[in-house]
Structure 1
Amino acid sequence: MATADSAAAMNEADTAANDPTKNTQYVIGAGDQLGISVYRAPELSVPSLPVRPDGRISMPLIPDIVAAGKTPTQLGKELEERLKEYVKDPIVTVMVTNFVGPFSRQVRVIGEATEPQAIPYRDHMTVLDVMIAVKGLTKFAAGNSAVIVRRVGDKRESIKVRLSSLLKDGDIDQNVEMLPGDTLIIPQSWF
């Protein structure tokens, strides 16, 4: 029964990873910071553990395990299975303490943002949320010529957004909802 539950959980994670708009549970990504606690075995607990760029983590007694693409609960169960040979009935809790998320669950901002970056996607995130995170536009930005590039199936869709109108004039109609994987491109103005 436990293997059927594990297989169902992994299948659910795979489905969620393939369609990031339907994912309701947080999926660990490279660059995330994890806190791993092993109940009644503090020597095996790791309070701050980065997920390496290859998506793996290393901890005492478990030299290498894939963390990226799994939910914290799935990773905890896998760590429990691996620790059973060393600890009687291990209980492992995985907490994500610093969020980056997998690439498919990030929103990227490039061009003339004050601090261009990749931002972890949050449900119902809007362009205004993104602009707050990147600290607004540079003085050279052509904000009203910005474009959101969104992958829809095998195609790419471009959505024009007037950032200057949103930020300076309060045109709330420009506050478009973002989706995981979107890229906001802010061009430079031509003087």
Structure 2
Amino acid sequence: MNSSLRHFRVGYWFIGLILSLGSCISSKELVLYQKGVADKDTIVAANRYIPKIKSGDVLSVQVSSLSAEATALFNPYATIAAMGGAQQGSTTSLPYTPGYLVNEEGQIELPIIGKVMVQGLTNMQAAGQIRQKLLEYLKEPVVNVRNTNFQITVTGEVARPAMFSIPNEQITLPAALGMAGDITIYGKRTNILVIREENGQRTFNQIDLTNRDVFKSPYFYLRPNDIVYVEPGKVRVASADRTNQIIPLVLSALSIIALALSRTVLR
């Protein structure tokens, strides 16, 4: 019996030793928005991003007025949207989103009033343009314009990597990471990559979330089709490498325990 106990102890000790062979993560690497030596408790934040309409956008245009019957003529997508349009949250396959596609000339074509130039305008400015044209047909019209294809992608070391639709067209980098379930303990917070298309080119921009200067970054506010990638830290890489090395050792330790059990039974 004493021999069996020794085998058990050796086996358990061996497994525990293997599992403890891991690198540690310092708390300094996990804490966000750390204060520098000369930092104050107040920081000037980056300017809020106000999206401008561009070719390829899909716009939702909702019209209301004092006459519901007349208004219905200008809301052909209302029924489709009620049955299921763009949804907030993650998507694995993008659903069809009813709306008006901005053509290469920067125009959308609305029922009755025809083409309206919207490229380069904010949603509020586009709504004002449309409202002016509607005054000929409706009394006191109210127009709401929204970009339905404002989407971002969050990948890498986050809890729930996915593509997200942003209904209010305003999203910050920390908020996007929060939607993805936050960075895992293995994520490298000092190197968050924001991939953005600007002037027909992809730019790769590194953000350090442990530094509160992130609030001043031009990439603090995300833009449509931005990709956020959280790089895995050294611990994650080392952990993946160790897995292939540890499994045979754990099996060996279990074999020792099984051998001890078999000897005990035979006795």
Q: What's the TM-score, normalizing by structure 1? A: 0.51
Q: Greater share of strand residues, 1 or 2?
A: 1
**Structure 1 stretches lacking a partner, 5+ long:** 1-20, 163-172
Q: 1:166-177, aligned counterparts within 5 Å?
A: 176-177=214-215
* Residue of structure 2 in register with 1:52 after alignment: 101
Q: Using the aligned pairs only, state the percent identity.
A: 17
| Superposed CA offset, 1:33-70 (max 9, x none) | 33222443323331456242646544321344344543
Among 58, 62, 73, the residue aligned to 1:35: 62
* Residue of structure 1 in register with 2:154 after alignment: 109
Q: Does the 8 A contact of 2:60 with 2:147 survive in 1?
A: yes
CA 1:39–1:70 in structure 2 vs 1: closer, same or farther (change >3 Å)?
farther
Q: Does the 8 A contact of 1:34 with 1:98 survive in 2?
A: no
Among 146, 158, 161, the residue aligned to 2:206: 158
What is the distance in 2 between the residues matched to 1:175 and 1:108?
Answer: 23
Q: Amino acid of the residue matched to residue 154 of structure 2? A: V
What is the distance in 1 between the residues matched to 2:164 and 2:49?
Answer: 20
What is the distance in 2 between the residues matched to 1:75 and 1:51?
Answer: 13
Q: Does the 8 A contact of 1:145 with 1:186 survive in 2?
A: no
Q: Give the paired residue count.
A: 151
**Structure 2 stretches lacking a partner, 5+ long:** 1-45, 82-97, 241-267
* Residue of structure 2 in register with 1:65 after alignment: 116
CA 1:175–1:39 in structure 2 vs 1: closer, same or farther (change >3 Å)?
farther
Secondary structure of 2:208's aligned partner: strand
Q: Amino acid of the residue matched to residue 37 of structure 1? A: S
| Superposed CA offset, 1:141-163 (max 9, x none) | 64446424488x9986522336x
CA 1:110–1:69 in structure 2 vs 1: closer, same or farther (change >3 Å)?
farther
* Residue of structure 1 in register with 2:129 after alignment: 78
Q: Amino acid of the residue matched to residue 71 of structure 1? A: T
What is the distance in 2 between the residues matched to 1:22 and 1:161?
Answer: 18
Name which structure has the greater RCO, CA cutoff 8 Å, separation 6+: 2
Among 179, 182, 200, the residue aligned to 1:136: 182
* Residue of structure 1 in register with 2:250 after alignment: none
Q: Amino acid of the residue matched to residue 95 of structure 1? A: N
What is the distance in 2 between the residues matched to 1:70 and 1:119?
Answer: 21
What is the distance in 1 between the residues matched to 2:100 and 2:156?
Answer: 28
What is the distance in 1 between the residues matched to 2:108 and 2:125?
Answer: 14
CA 1:91–1:31 in structure 2 vs 1: closer, same or farther (change >3 Å)?
same
CA 1:51–1:76 in structure 2 vs 1: closer, same or farther (change >3 Å)?
same
Larger Rg: 2
2:228 aligned with 1:184: yes
Secondary structure of 2:125's aligned partner: helix
Q: CA RMSD in A?
A: 4.4
What is the distance in 1 between the residues matched to 2:49 and 2:187?
Answer: 35
What is the distance in 2 between the residues matched to 1:38 and 1:75?
Answer: 17
What is the distance in 2 between the residues matched to 1:93 and 1:73?
Answer: 11
